[in-house]
Structures are given as structure tokens and as C-alpha cells.
Amino acid sequence: MDPDLILRWLHVIGACVLLGTGAGIAFFMLVAHRTGDARFIAQTAGIVVLADLVFTATAVVAQPVTGGLLAWRLGWPFTEGWLLASLALYAMAGLFWLPVVWLQVQMRELAQKAADNAEPLSLEYHRLFRIWFACGFPAFAAVLVILWLMIARPSIVWI
């Protein structure tokens, strides 16, 4: 089998995992949050954290490896405009994703504490949720633009 085709396939699968897991995690956390049920939120956040560690983290590592190998094998210089833009957006998405993982862990712990003590969700939980929610938009938008750049490979000139 063609190694370039395998690399492309792995790269596309990684992109799908990033986009799909990100959208799925956001959906499940938002739905759980809207219930206001601390026990349900804690359980959902636990699964979300696990999914982020298993799927998202794996794709986060695989994407630059498969992308770098593809660029090298296909002769694309790393100074190519669309490739530089993709890498910059990837770094930006990562800068938003890392705090999101930490926030999910904190929200899980706060929701579990509220459930264990039969208390309402704390103001701190709600504050962290707002930050988590806000961080999702730029990270998700960056991934969408990266996917477009991967497909279109537009000519971008950096001065």
C-alpha cells in the first residue's frame, strides 16, 4: 500500500477525531450543565475528561506527526503559507484546549463535591463553566479553519 495514502488517511482520521471529539465533548458538557444536576454533571464530566485524554490527546499528538511526515514526503516546504497558518492555528487551539481539560477536571470535582454534600453547584463551578464555554469557540473555530486550509491549500504569502 502507498505510504503517502496511509499518511493522508491517518491525518484525515486525526482531524476527524479532533473535530468530532471536540464537538461531542462540548455537546455533552453543555447538555449536562443545563440539567443543573450535580451528580449527572460530575458523571458526564468524568467521561468527557476520559474522552479528551484517550481520543483528543492521541489526535493532538498524531496530527503534527502525520502532517509533518506528509509535508516532508510530498515536498511541501514548512514555509508554505497555508502550512504556517495551519501550524499557528494549531498552536492557538492547543493554548485554548489545555486549560479546557484542566477546567473540565475542576468542574467534575466541584460537581462531585456538590452532589456528595447534596448542595447546589457552587459559584466557582459556574465561573469555570463560563470560562470553559468561552475557550471552546476560538479552539473550535481554529480547527475548522485548519481543516479548510488542509483541503484548499490556498496560496498565502507572509511578508
Q: What share of the chain is helix, strand, coil (3-state, %, to 5)?
A: 85, 0, 15
pLDDT of residue 148 exceeding 90, the answer is yes
C-alpha 22 chain-centroid distance: 5
pLDDT attached to residue 157: 87
Pick the closest to residue 76 from 159, 153, 134 (CA basis). 153
Closest of 4, 3, 54, 5 to residue 25, by C-alpha: 54
**25 burial via Cβ count (<10 Å: 0-12, 13-18, 19+):** buried
Is the whole model's pTM more than 0.85, yes or no?
Answer: yes
| Four-point Cα dihedral 38, 137, 151, 84, nearest 10 | -120
Predicted local distance difference test score (pLDDT) of residue 1: 84
pLDDT above 90 for 158:
no
With cell 493532538, the residue in question is 60
* Non-local CB neighbours of 111 within 8 Å, separated by 6+ positions: 38, 39, 41, 42, 45, 121, 125
Once rounded to an integer, what is the mean pLDDT over residues 10-19?
96
Res 68 pLDDT > 90: yes
C-alpha cell at 12: 484525515
Cell of 1: 500500500
Taking the CA atoms of residue 13, residue 17, residue 18 and residue 21 in that order, the dihedral angle to the nearest 10 degrees is 170
